[in-house]
Amino acid sequence: MSLSNTKIFTAVITPMDEFGGVDFVSFERLLRRQSEAGCGILVLGSTGEALALSLDEQKEVLEFTVNLSLDVPLMVGVGGFQLNEQLKWVEYCNQFQAISAFLMVTPLYAKPGPLGQKIWFRSLLDQSKKPCMLYNVPSRTGVNLAYEVVEALSQHPNFWAIKEASGDIERFKHYVNIAKHICVYSGEDALMPELAEVGGCGLVSVVSNIWPKAAKLYVDASLSGDITNQTKILWQLAAKSCFSVANPIPVKAWLAAESYIKYSTLRAPLVADELTDLSLLREADHAVNKWYQNELEGAV
């Protein structure tokens, strides 16, 4: 499957054992499940708790994933706020042919303006030997990806896509209009149908950790415009259930409850006990599975 044909990427969690070490048995199970569903894979994003892992652990996670030889595109997160460290990370990742792309987030905490962002992203784009998706997530970084930066870098050969997760449809539309050849992906599961209507290319998803096949069908329906208000409400419920407390706590809790992973362990400051009630996830799971089955039967 090519990068350009991949309309959904799953921001995969990093499962951990009861002591907080990476649980590679569960991790392989999750990765193969995503591959079988035809979802592209993003490892070491914020949903994967990348910043809570040491550099050695990040390398171990990446090398493990690469060695599985999965049949879908693999994207790797590039985060943090120390430019030299991120340049080293990109240089390290460049050696792996199995990596299809990078996800590069606006610098954390520093809240740079347009000039600082342009220097940051141009440096990373120049270092990369892969296509790159720039990531706007102001709820985590404190600042939006500046329009001027998108326009200034739009002709860079490694600038392939944007992940827009501000929840602002007008901002999404503006990114689409600034650089019409750049793919703009939704970073908001619940808004996929609305963003598809204004030029969205696909979705970088959290909910697909739980419902990969159904989420892929949801994205396909959104992009084709063949989606009902009832279906939109269903996926709003699914998204709400996965963000009732800080991501990825609900996803880990449900995957552990359903035995896809062995433990719901997270790294501090995230704690599984923040979620005390699985009823919303249970309701969403029932509704999504029923919808997916009906869609399959209707397609026959």
Per-residue exposure over 50-79, b if at least 16 CB sit within 10 Å of its own CB, e if not: bebbeeebbeebbeebbeeebebbbbbbbb
Residues forming beta bridges with residue 247, ordered by sequence position: none
Task: Tell me which residues are annotated as active site.
Answer: 135, 163
Decide: residue 167, CB within 10 A, 0-12 exposed, 13-18 middle, 19+ buried.
middle
Predicted local distance difference test score (pLDDT) of residue 288:
98
Predicted local distance difference test score (pLDDT) of residue 4:
84
Predicted local distance difference test score (pLDDT) of residue 76:
98
Please check the confidence at residue 1 and state whether its pLDDT lies above 90.
Answer: no
> What pLDDT digit, counting tens, does each position of 245-275 carry?
999 999 999 999 999 999 999 999 999 999 9
Predicted local distance difference test score (pLDDT) of residue 300:
53
Please count the residues of the chain: 300
Listed by start position, the domains of the chain span 8-212
> What pLDDT digit, counting tens, does each position of 155-205 carry?
999 999 999 999 999 999 999 999 999 999 999 999 999 999 999 999 999
* 55-66 and 83-94 helices, crossing angle to 10°: 20
**Residue 190 structure tokens:** 């619940």
Predicted local distance difference test score (pLDDT) of residue 2:
87
In CATH terms, 8-212 corresponds, of 3.20.20.70, 1.10.3720.10, 3.40.109.10, 3.40.50.2300, to 3.20.20.70
**Mean pLDDT, range 126-139, rounded to an integer:** 98
**Residue 122 structure tokens:** 């141009």
Indicate the pTM of the whole model: 0.97
Confidence of residue 56 (pLDDT cuts 50, 70, 90): very high
Predicted local distance difference test score (pLDDT) of residue 58:
98
First to last CA, the chain: 24
Predicted local distance difference test score (pLDDT) of residue 51:
94
Using H for helix, E for strand and C for coil, what is the string for 246-263?
Answer: CCCHHHHHHHHHCCCCCC
> What pLDDT digit, counting tens, does each position of 268-300 carry?
999 999 999 999 999 999 999 999 999 998 875
Residues forming beta bridges with residue 41, ordered by sequence position: 10, 74
Average pLDDT of every residue of the chain? 97
